[in-house]
Amino acid sequence: MERMIRWFVNNSVAANLIMAFIIISGTLTIPLLKMEVFPEISVDIVNVTAIYPGASPPDVENAICIRIEERLQGLDGISRITSSASENVGSVNVELLPGQDVSE
Global pTM reads 0.57
Look at the chain and report how many structural domains it folds into.
2
- Domain assignment present for residue 87? The answer is yes
Give the range of the structural domain holding residue 70, as residue numbers without chain letter: 45-96
Closest CA to 90 of 52, 46, 54: 52
Which has more confidence, 102 or 70? 70
Average pLDDT of span 53-80? 90
Three-state SS sequence of 6-53: HHHHHCHHHHHHHHHHHHHHHHHHHHHCCCCCCCCCCCCEEEEEEECC
- Domain assignment present for residue 85? The answer is yes
- Domain assignment present for residue 14? The answer is yes
Quick: pLDDT tens for 8-18. 899 999 999 99
DSSP, collapsed to helix, strand or coil, labels residue 71 as helix
Is residue 54 located within the same domain as residue 91?
yes
Is residue 49 located within the same domain as residue 73?
yes
- Domain assignment present for residue 102? The answer is no
Quick: pLDDT tens for 29-49. 999 998 888 888 777 888 999
Is residue 26 located within the same domain as residue 55?
no
